[in-house]
Chains A and B, each alone.
Chain A
């Protein structure tokens, strides 16, 4: 009988898991039944959300239907996941109950738009496709003033994104001829831009922001938005004014997982950081933003990508026996497009996440406008490889 592999979530982690399993088993006779469930009909390439906000991409250019997976023999179910019961090995959805031999949970973080008071009315964000389109409309009507970009905490998808957005906005406003009457300011919890990644990256980003006249306010622990004053306050009493506020919404761990036995009353499920198997349920693998903050890995698609390949191989080993093709590589790279400049930073997190013994090893793999081409090539390759037409 074929093994049943159930993948929850069609983001980076889920998509790469499904494709990796397809490649491992496509020429074998003992093919498992692979099913991917997602409430969305489309997979969206999240790194391009800022490009949608700035009008460089249209929504349909950065998404493809998950049903394309069916071409590879992967069953796709468009359903809302209602509950997970790891004791019964069952997942209840709006389209029925699914059982499994192996479960891969890659449901990502949830955006909690209502958590911060006045956020919904006052702030814009390119952390979803809808949010990106709303920001695009706001930017179209923007004629100058104060743009404030910041974060409400450290748990948000793609840590470099606020810096990238600031750089792109500078570029766009110069093209529109209104940069001289616009102030762009970033506030963040860290003392310097991306200083948690170390000086090798932070220095480069600080230099780019400085060249672009973008102000950085560090150690700013967000407290509240005051809509009447058009100000954002920090816990230490400092405040920053805005005419246009850009902030990622509060993120929270996935509520279905948080309410299941996988989380056992905690925010995040407990996994073995060596294998990403659940501590108690060894047939359950949990990857991506839904667990990474708890194991000291950044909430970024690239990390979920490498976890997904590793998990697919572990499952294959149990079905086939023997050889693990991929080990988990605790690295992250990200192409930061600043409009007329771009940076490709990289970090290796072995010491950070495994034994909690030291800082990440980071460096810059490339800098210059041409690096933007790498982002465009990666976007094209992503869809060609994982959602082939």
Chain B
């Protein structure tokens, strides 16, 4: 068999690789990698636990919320909100925190800023309520679909003696 001679560049690379291998070997890294590689085929089933998957799906959804929020609107509004709060909530004012008496509440209600904030809260409540309705319809459809499937499965299992865990 014809043996091909290594180029000086290849020789240099191999020597560096060998030196690195010695360091990894002496530090026990190769030993650790050998042990860890045994876990590789099992990794999927360890990570595919329902608990971990549910956490993953929820984190992913939280990240999705951050993704859909428009950063321009969010940052401008939040900046102005924080600025307004800082102006209102000074240490001096906080020594005697305001109280919302009935009379003061009526006065606040005439304030256009408070009216806008209230309108936003109502918009939020409206959207939240609508989403509850839509979700209820979606879940009902899903449950109806499942129940039809289950009725068929129960009949089939009992006919063939396949146990159903109660």
| Residue ranges of A at the interface with B (Cβ–Cβ < 8 Å) | 19-20, 23, 190-191, 195-196, 198-200, 266, 270-274, 279, 294-296, 305-306, 309, 326, 329, 331, 333, 346, 348, 350, 352, 354-359, 361-367, 381, 384-386
5 new A-B contacts, CB < 8 A, other than A23-B42, A367-B64, A386-B41, are: A191-B141, A200-B57, A333-B48, A354-B165, A363-B57
B40 within 8 A of A: yes
Identity of the chain A residue whose Cβ is nearest the Cβ of B59 in the assembled complex? A365
Q: Inside 8 A of A190's CB, which chain B residues have their CB?
A: 145
Contact B48 A294 (CB under 8 A): no
Q: Inside 8 A of A195's CB, which chain B residues have their CB?
A: 141-142, 145
Contact A356 B56 (CB under 8 A): no
**Bound complex: CA A191 to CA B141 (Å):** 9
Looking at the complex, which one of B41, B60, B165 makes contact with A363 (CB distance below 8 Å)?
A: B60
Identity of the chain A residue whose Cβ is nearest the Cβ of B56 in the assembled complex? A365
Contact A23 B41 (CB under 8 A): yes
Q: Inside 8 A of B112's CB, which chain A residues have their CB?
A: none
Contact B162 A199 (CB under 8 A): no
B residues 125-166 in Cβ contact with A at 8 Å: 135, 138-139, 141-143, 145-146, 149-150, 153-154, 156-157, 160-166
A-B contact count (CB 8 A): 104
Looking at the complex, which one of A266, A355, A361, A362 makes contact with B165 (CB distance below 8 Å)?
A: A355
Looking at the complex, which one of A357, A362, A367, A381 makes contact with B40 (CB distance below 8 Å)?
A: A381
B75 within 8 A of A: no
**A295-B162, A364-B60 as given contacts; A331 in contact with B156, CB under 8 Å:** no
Q: How large is the interface on B (under 10, 10 to 19, 20 to 34, 35 or more residues)?
A: 35 or more
Contact B160 A198 (CB under 8 A): no
| Residue ranges of B at the interface with A (Cβ–Cβ < 8 Å) | 38, 40-42, 44-45, 48-50, 53-54, 56-58, 60-61, 64, 135, 138-139, 141-143, 145-146, 149-150, 153-154, 156-157, 160-166
8 contacts between A and B (CB under 8 A): A23-B38, A266-B160, A271-B162, A272-B162, A294-B162, A354-B165, A363-B57, A384-B40
Closest chain-B Cβ to A306's Cβ sits at a distance in Å of 6
Contact B142 A359 (CB under 8 A): yes
Q: Inside 8 A of B53's CB, which chain A residues have their CB?
A: 331, 333, 346, 348, 363, 365
Looking at the complex, which one of B40, B41, B50, B166 makes contact with A355 (CB distance below 8 Å)?
A: B166
Q: Inside 8 A of A367's CB, which chain B residues have their CB?
A: 60, 64
Identity of the chain A residue whose Cβ is nearest the Cβ of B40 in the assembled complex? A385
Contact A346 B57 (CB under 8 A): yes
Contact B60 A365 (CB under 8 A): yes
Q: Inside 8 A of A326's CB, which chain B residues have their CB?
A: 45
Q: Inside 8 A of A329's CB, which chain B residues have their CB?
A: 45, 48-50
**A329-B45, A350-B50 as given contacts; A364 in contact with B164, CB under 8 Å:** no
Q: Inside 8 A of A191's CB, which chain B residues have their CB?
A: 141, 145
Q: Inside 8 A of B141's CB, which chain A residues have their CB?
A: 191, 195
Q: Inside 8 A of B42's CB, which chain A residues have their CB?
A: 23
Contact B142 A352 (CB under 8 A): no
Q: Inside 8 A of A333's CB, which chain B residues have their CB?
A: 48, 53
Q: Inside 8 A of A274's CB, which chain B residues have their CB?
A: 163, 165
Contact A356 B54 (CB under 8 A): no
Contact B56 A199 (CB under 8 A): no
Closest chain-B Cβ to A258's Cβ sits at a distance in Å of 14
Q: Inside 8 A of A361's CB, which chain B residues have their CB?
A: 50, 54
Q: Lowest 6 CB-CB distances: which A-B pairs, in order?
A: A363-B57, A199-B138, A356-B150, A348-B50, A385-B41, A355-B165
Identity of the chain B residue whose Cβ is nearest the Cβ of A332 in the assembled complex? B48
**Bound complex: CA A270 to CA B157 (Å):** 9
